[in-house]
Amino acid sequence: MAKTAKPKSPPDVAKLTKAQAKVEHMRLTLDIERHDKAYYQDDAPKISDADYDALRKRFNAIEEKFPEFVTGDSPSQKIGAAPSGKFKKVRHAVPMLSLDNAFAEADVLDFVGRIRRFLKLGDDERIDFSAEPKIDGLSMSLRYENGELVTAATRGDGAEGEDVTANIRTLKDVPQKLKGRNVPEICEVRGEVYMTKQAFLALNERQKAAGEPIFANPRNSAAGSLRQKDSSITASRPLGFFAYAWGQISAMPEDTQSAMVGWFERCGFRTNPLTKVCHSVEQLIAFHRKIEQQRAGLDYDIDGVVYKIDRLDWQERLGFVSRTPRWAIAHKFPAERAMTVLRDIEIQVGRTGSFTPVGKLEPVGVGGVIVQNVSLHNEDYIKGIGGDGEQLREGRDIRIGDTVIIQRAGDVIPQVVDVVIDKRPKTAKEFHFPKKCPCPLHTDVVREETAAGEESARARCSGEFACPYQTIEHLKLFASRRAFDIEGLGEKQIAYFYEQGWVKEPGDIFTLPARNTKLKLEQIEGYGETSVRNLFAAIEERRKISLERFIFALGMRHVGETTALALARGYGSWKAFHDACLKVAKDDEEAMAEMDALDQIGETVIASIKAYFSESHNRGIVERLTREVTIVDAEKPKSNSAVAGKTVVFTGALEKMTRDEAKATAERLGAKAAGSVSKKTDYVVAGPGAGSKLAEAKKHGVAVLTEDEWLAMIGQ
């Protein structure tokens, strides 16, 4: 790094009070982040190596004295790691999806019941499950071509991960070459990279002794170790890998999950020794209990167990619901709890104007992470009068200064589940929910209405797009990783550009480069020519966007990523979707029925789309934005089946399969399963008892098939 001025020496860390240390910890976090960005991203360091090391050393000393300050996103957890973007992106041939969660035994019963119904299995038909520990590490996809390891990629957003091949090659559990003859030409092995608890503790000891930062938990230390630009550092950190799944495989070597795991072992991988085939719900529950008892004694962190249908032909038939398989579930261990003090309550205004009260806690460790914020949901939750308040123990209300019990389950945001009334201080303050939005407009706060037209517990700012908070939140979502993913346009930049009046709506982002001769962004303090050049390059790179990301980025209420994907797949192109939205806004019944027929789209989403496109302000934003970008059509499910691209309606009783399976199979083969018959319908598959839909089919001259004819047509 470049040599510049030296900072003056600060007071001894040992003498700092906790409050002083906290303030300094926050300030140092910001400083280190700023210098990391200058060094790694802009290649323009602003301080000397020695000064940077001094900052780090002091920061580490503070975290060593107050380990409760160490959080997952502390700079100490990212030491040496180049920021995201330095690794090449890898598109997964088969997306890396996640698992649905079960918390109670009843959820496991439901899971098995759903499978029986979907596959039309009798109560006494045996189902085999592969039951496996759920490793709390990082999922990894290893691609082998002709038996040789060619790429190792992190999960990323599921569609695209980061190329960490050089680092993965240093793991002894990952073979460079698959053992055995006749390995498939293409084979992607997936599993979990983890660090043992012992290795994690030993690493932290070494870090401490060397005055280096300590890690919050084994998962973080595994992630930090893997994201090194220098693979010799990864090599010095003992990382393990368990193989348990796969992506693309040119020829399947086995036909059950358990046999696949056996095959991974023969190929030279380590697999988890606790994995077991179970034959009933009772055996699954017994497995969960047994593993939970063993949990503390295991040398690696687990956060539950996973049950998978063993037969791969059944897995195939069951398929996926949005981003999770129907054939597997994660049965999590009970939530971990901790006691701490609620210091304050702040209001956060969301993208759609909703108000969320956030509890500011005395930092406390729960299940491996330090928690400082907790969602308090809404006014009624705080008052303990129902609404969404079912998490909070009955008869409790929450006051500032209270000692509270918080609970954290998996990735779920921590909750306040109880208040220790005996510890309530006299000074505890009731929280008065604001009547006005904290934005400069001070617009009135209103209660939302439920679908039934009743007042709900959720409060919203009534300012809509006149409220700067909502606009800024929407712009942040728009540029975020999950939407347009514009690197270098983070929350701070968005807020700043908005305040300056440079970016008032999404389309403005794309006209920034052309307007820069006037704006002169490079003159902003701490920005510089390189950052501006990088930002403009990132903006240009993202002018081309997939339809699902584009729909999600519009920020309509109730249209999250999964819904956006369903809409994109349903309409295929922006033009088709946009035309439909404009029609829905005008209450066009046919357009509404067509939208309603799409998988996973219902009344709430349609109402939200209608509300959005009824506003001329929103239509204007969309129009100006679409002038700036190219929206890529959604990929239709690949299929050379006879029914690809056709619209089919199932009606009456089906005898060989359930309605859900029939629809899912049709969609897998590239057909659209609609809910009502129109002149656009290609086939109506009618079973016994079919009524008005059959009559409609005849009226429109649509081909009517029996269930057997349909099965013959799809080759089953």
Q: Which residues are catalytic?
A: 134
How is residue 77 annotated by DSSP? G
- Residue 97 interacts with ligand IVH (CB under 6 A): yes or no: yes
Distance of CA 473 to the CA centre of its chain: 18
- Residue 98 interacts with ligand IVH (CB under 6 A): yes or no: yes
**Residue 14 is encoded by which pair of tokens?**
């040992």
Part of the chain binding ligand IVH (CB under 6 A), chosen from 1-9, 97-105, 221-229, 485-493: 97-105
Part of the chain binding ligand IVH (CB under 6 A), chosen from 91-99, 214-222, 232-240, 423-431: 91-99
- Residue 139 interacts with ligand IVH (CB under 6 A): yes or no: yes
- What is the sign, positive or negative, of the torsion defined by CA atoms of 563, 567, 569, 574? negative
- Residue 164 interacts with ligand IVH (CB under 6 A): yes or no: no
Q: How far apart are CA 657 and CA 650, in angstroms?
A: 11
Q: How far apart are CA 271 and CA 130, in angstroms?
A: 13
> Of 193 and 662, which CB lies nearer to ligand IVH in the complex structure?
193
Nearest-approach distance from CB 152 to ligand IVH, in angstroms: 14
- Residue 325 interacts with ligand IVH (CB under 6 A): yes or no: yes
> Of 265 and 579, which CB lies nearer to ligand IVH in the complex structure?
265
- Residue 99 interacts with ligand IVH (CB under 6 A): yes or no: yes
Q: How many residues does the chain have?
A: 716
Nearest-approach distance from CB 328 to ligand IVH, in angstroms: 6
CB 345 within 8 A of CB 357: yes
- Residue 490 interacts with ligand IVH (CB under 6 A): yes or no: no
Nearest-approach distance from CB 319 to ligand IVH, in angstroms: 11
> Of 189 and 535, which CB lies nearer to ligand IVH in the complex structure?
189
Helices (H), 37-100: 49-65
Q: How far apart are CA 113 and CA 111, in angstroms?
A: 5
> Of 325 and 572, which CB lies nearer to ligand IVH in the complex structure?
325
Give the footprint of ligand IVH on residues 327-346 (CB under 6 A). 330
CB 305 within 8 A of CB 131: yes
Part of the chain binding ligand IVH (CB under 6 A), chosen from 39-47, 116-124, 132-140, 377-385: 132-140
> Of 411 and 589, which CB lies nearer to ligand IVH in the complex structure?
411
Q: How far apart are CA 136 and CA 305, in angstroms?
A: 10
Part of the chain binding ligand IVH (CB under 6 A), chosen from 31-39, 128-136, 197-205, 434-442: 128-136
Nearest-approach distance from CB 658 to ligand IVH, in angstroms: 22
- Residue 192 interacts with ligand IVH (CB under 6 A): yes or no: yes
Nearest-approach distance from CB 318 to ligand IVH, in angstroms: 12
> Of 246 and 484, which CB lies nearer to ligand IVH in the complex structure?
246
Part of the chain binding ligand IVH (CB under 6 A), chosen from 134-142, 249-257, 371-379, 595-603: 134-142
> Of 140 and 366, which CB lies nearer to ligand IVH in the complex structure?
140
Burial class (CB in 10 A: 0-12, 13-18, 19+), 617: exposed
Nearest-approach distance from CB 407 to ligand IVH, in angstroms: 19
Part of the chain binding ligand IVH (CB under 6 A), chosen from 22-30, 120-128, 130-138, 494-502: 130-138
CB 85 within 8 A of CB 487: yes
CB 306 within 8 A of CB 329: yes
- Residue 81 interacts with ligand IVH (CB under 6 A): yes or no: no
**Residue 457 is encoded by which pair of tokens?**
């517990």
- Residue 288 interacts with ligand IVH (CB under 6 A): yes or no: no
Nearest-approach distance from CB 137 to ligand IVH, in angstroms: 7
- Residue 371 interacts with ligand IVH (CB under 6 A): yes or no: no
| Other Cβ atoms within 10 Å of 177 Cβ, number | 12
CB 605 within 8 A of CB 557: no
Q: What angle do CA 192, 198, 202 make, to 5 degrees?
A: 115
Strand (E) or helix (H) holding 290: helix 281-294
> Of 325 and 675, which CB lies nearer to ligand IVH in the complex structure?
325
Cα within 13 Å of Cα(247), Cβ side: 27
Nearest-approach distance from CB 253 to ligand IVH, in angstroms: 18
Position with the least CB separation from ligand IVH: 139
Nearest-approach distance from CB 306 to ligand IVH, in angstroms: 4
- Residue 248 interacts with ligand IVH (CB under 6 A): yes or no: no
- Residue 239 interacts with ligand IVH (CB under 6 A): yes or no: no
Q: Write the DSSP string, 393-458.
A: PTT----BT-EEEEEE-TTSPPEEEEE-GGG--TT-BPPPPPSB-SSTT-PBEEEEEPTTS-EEEE
CB 243 within 8 A of CB 174: no
Closest by CA position to 337, among listed 357, 364, 361: 364
Among 245, 291, 521, 591, binds ligand IVH (CB under 6 A): 245
* Residue type at 634 in one-letter notation: A
Tokens 């002091």 correspond to: 58
Give the footprint of ligand IVH on residues 374-393 (CB under 6 A). none
Nearest-approach distance from CB 326 to ligand IVH, in angstroms: 10
Give the footprint of ligand IVH on residues 293-312 (CB under 6 A). 306
Nearest-approach distance from CB 555 to ligand IVH, in angstroms: 26
Q: How, if at all, do strands 703-705 and 683-686 pair?
A: parallel
> Of 332 and 460, which CB lies nearer to ligand IVH in the complex structure?
332
Nearest-approach distance from CB 309 to ligand IVH, in angstroms: 12
CB 198 within 8 A of CB 299: yes
Q: How far apart are CA 432 and CA 413, in angstroms?
A: 23
Q: How far apart are CA 650 and CA 706, in angstroms?
A: 10
Tokens 């559990």 correspond to: 173
Q: How far apart are CA 544 and CA 628, in angstroms?
A: 9
Q: Is 329 helix (H, G, I), strand (E, B) or coil?
A: strand
Among 52, 111, 118, 244, binds ligand IVH (CB under 6 A): 244
Part of the chain binding ligand IVH (CB under 6 A), chosen from 127-135, 225-233, 433-441, 610-618: 127-135
Part of the chain binding ligand IVH (CB under 6 A), chosen from 92-100, 384-392, 534-542, 706-714: 92-100
> Of 112 and 214, which CB lies nearer to ligand IVH in the complex structure?
112
CB 242 within 8 A of CB 272: yes
Q: How far apart are CA 318 and CA 328, in angstroms?
A: 10
> Of 257 and 352, which CB lies nearer to ligand IVH in the complex structure?
257
Q: How far apart are CA 435 and CA 437, in angstroms?
A: 7
Number of residues located near ligand IVH, criterion CB under 6 A: 13
Part of the chain binding ligand IVH (CB under 6 A), chosen from 131-139, 253-261, 548-556, 672-680: 131-139
Strand (E) or helix (H) holding 207: helix 197-209
Among 24, 36, 51, 132, binds ligand IVH (CB under 6 A): 132
- Residue 258 interacts with ligand IVH (CB under 6 A): yes or no: no
Nearest-approach distance from CB 654 to ligand IVH, in angstroms: 27
Cα distances from 692 to residues 489, 677, 704, in angstroms, run: 54, 9, 13
CB 166 within 8 A of CB 273: no
- Residue 402 interacts with ligand IVH (CB under 6 A): yes or no: no
> Of 56 and 190, which CB lies nearer to ligand IVH in the complex structure?
190
- What residue ranges bind ligand IVH (CB under 6 A)? 97-99, 132, 134-135, 139, 192, 244-245, 306, 325, 330
